[in-house]
Amino acid sequence: MLYRIVSDIPGRLRLRTQAGLFDDEEARGVAYALMRTRGVRHAEVHPANGSILVAFDPIERRRVLSAIDAFDVLDLPREQVGIEGFSAAIEVAAENNRFRLEIASLAAWRLLRRLLLPAPLRVAWTVLRSIGFVAEGLRRLLDGRITVEVLDATAVVASLLRGSFDGADTIMFLLGLSSTMERHVQSRVHLALRDGIVTRAESVWLSGEDGDVCIPIDEVERDQVLHLMAGSVLPVDGKVVDGEAEVDEASMTGESRLVHKAEGSTVFAGTALEDGDLRVRVTAAPGDSRIDDIVTMVEQSAELKAGVQSDAERLADALVPLNLFAFFAILALTRNVGKAMAVLMVDYSCAIKLSMPVAVMSAMDEASRRNVVVKGGRYLEALAGADTVVFDKTGTLTHASPQVERVLSFTGVGEDTLLRYAACIEEHFPHSMARAIVAEAKRRGLTHVNELHAEVEYVVAHGISTRIDGLGAVIGSAHFVFEDEGVPKPEGIEEAIHEAAPTASVVYMAQDGVLVGAFCISDPLRDEAAGVLAQLRSLGIERVVMLTGDAETSARYVADRLGIDACHAQVLPEDKSFYVGELRRQGHVVIMVGDGINDSPALAAADVSVALSDASDIARAVADVSVLDASLESLVTMRCLAQRLMARIHRDYRFIVGFNTGLIALGVAGALPLTTAAYLHNVSTLAVTGLNARPLLPRPRR
């Protein structure tokens, strides 16, 4: 590839090739190829001017230039939008560049028309351009809808009929700028949702002749068969070849209900396997699934809009007929077309319907830049208005990587044998306690080449039932082992465990109806937990509640340390959901923060649910807000962002109504020329819309 270096500073190169050398897919392919080159941190390729920007480790400069030299302009790589970690940054950079080019071209073309075209041609262009606006207005009228597009068309036509061609051109130019800005924010939100709305595991279990093998998600290919178990989120589209399960397809359909899947059924990426066991043949590799359909559903769902946004849009639509009525009423009273047109040229609906969605979408985009994916404006509104926060304990208020503190054997079976058995069973299931047992086995060098157990039955939030070496085996909570499975509880066992590890959480294991061991797992408090709770209280949270399946002693220890208002221990998943529902029935607006499969019912029951990055796949799939980093401090950030968004929306509404009412009054009174009123109205609309795209929070310190 031929190019010239236009900027060369340590760790950053800007190159220029021939303009138009790349199409969009080739530009993406070159950028992706560069990102896969060792030492490259960021790459952008701009088709319009043939520019290539690369940021990299300075010691890898020669390698980067060699990679660029190797591109064959007759056979450039082509890529669709991918799911690799760097793809989102590349797509955002491309969208930002497209937006800047579109704004620049709109402004440049308007300036060139004024400078170069003679007046007759400018008039002809204005009339020709107005056809699109008029056609859209007529289409809405024929559909029986009187919307803001009807007012826009009426204002443009009225300006043309009065001979105010410059006024009509200005109106259309400002409307074009507003539309471009709205499309840009929508695209940014779409990219953010696409990157984060569908939960995918980092690895999956590949079924083969020799059993299941764990492979990275990016090695998944079409026609492979994956083994998916309860509690997982489907990483790809596929067809069931074996097994039965209940799948929650809310992320695909928007309707939260379980769908039975069996051999021959089609399953989709991002849906949650609530119960059962499936083997699925991959029909679309990661990145090729129906992810964009899911994102579009989330963007367009009226149920996911902020209530204040929906109310404002309904009000805006309701005001349009009033504007038209006012036009005819003023015309009848004054016989002055200019005064009557003031209510056509200046209206409320245009500013409300443009500025408020942009404010919400911009806030969602800002959240994504802070590593938080919000799945709808209504959840920002709930975050702003919540007065109660409910936390799970393990993995939420405590570290998501707990450690095995003690392994206790009650029948003479060796600790390592118990740990190997437990790790072999637990490695398939996504919970922080399971991860702790697997990690401890690895730390001790305890491995198994083949599975030691038969098929397992996983009972959400309770435990696992299987067979090991021909013996029935169960592992899980005290409730599951002693009550559900009927294993006799040895006398004095709780006192012995409390003496060995007084604040630990406990996982019990039994074989053939006899308790054989217990795993005492310590999960120390997150360093930031106390500070986050204090900040949330300062931001208006009145009540903090903790729900946990752990024993009373470990739960009370955490609650006392953090000053939690109410603590409920040994709570089952359905009871967690009941507690959350009861708080809502009492009139509280509830945020639920959880991380495990057992939290998913409570997450679904809350006004707004939050899952951190180290939560289970199913918790992140169910959650309305998915935090992509592991810190609780993101809760404070989102509370501040949501409250400032609501304040911005209410402030905008007051300004729009007050300012435009003033313009209408001055126009009807004849104190303000019609073209000036129209110009001020459109400029104020554009200004409010533009200001709503500003960040709500200060940029984080680096």
Q: Which residue ranges make up each domain of the chain?
A: 4-80, 203-296, 372-399+525-628, 403-522
Protein fold of 203-296: 2.70.150
Q: Specify the CATH number of the domain 403-522.
A: 3.40.1110.10
End-to-end CA distance of the chain: 37
Task: Judge if 4-80 and 403-522 fold alike in CATH terms.
Answer: no
How far, in Å, CA of 130 to CA of 160, rounded? 9
- Calculate the alpha carbon distances from 597 to 49, 474, 618 in Å: 50, 18, 6
> Which amino acid is residue 382, in one-letter code?
A
Quickly count: other Cβ atoms within 10 Å of residue 73's Cβ: 12
Helix (H, G, I), strand (E, B) or coil at 421: helix
> Are 203 and 214 spatial neighbours (Cβ–Cβ below 8 Å)?
yes
Measured CA to CA, the distance from residue 507 to residue 482 in angstroms comes to 12
pLDDT confidence of residue 673: 79
- Measure Cα distances from 21 to 5, 8, 72 in Å: 16, 22, 11
Burial grade of 242 (CB within 10 A; 0-12, 13-18, 19 or more) = middle
CA quadruple 557, 515, 212, 252: dihedral sign: negative
User: How far apart are the C-alpha atoms of 294 and 384, rounded to whole Å?
Assistant: 26
* C-alpha distances in Å from residue 270, one per residue of 189, 198, 238, 273, 302: 18, 5, 12, 10, 21
Task: Say which residues have a Cβ less than 8 Å from residue 680's Cβ, sequence separation at least 6.
Answer: 663
pLDDT at 154: 80
- Residue 192, pLDDT score: 63
Please give the structure tokens belonging to residue 144: 């029986």
Looking at residue 254, its pLDDT comes to 47
Burial profile 660-683: b = 16 or more Cβ within 10 angstroms, e = fewer: beebbebbbeeebebbebbbbbbe
> For residues 248 and 260, what is the distance between their CA atoms, to the nearest angstrom?
9
Q: Classify 4-80 by CATH class.
A: alpha beta
Question: What pLDDT does residue 189 have?
Answer: 66
Q: Are 128 and 314 in contact (CB under 8 A)?
A: no
Q: Domain 372-399+525-628 falls in which CATH fold? A: Rossmann fold (3.40.50)
For residues 641 and 367, give the distance between their C-alpha atoms in angstroms, rounded to a whole number.
8
Cβ 510 vs Cβ 462: under 8 Å? no
Residue ranges of the chain whose pLDDT lies below 70: 82-85, 189-190, 192-202, 231, 250-257, 285-316, 338, 400, 429-431, 448-462, 596-598, 616-618, 700-702
Q: What is the pLDDT of residue 530?
A: 93
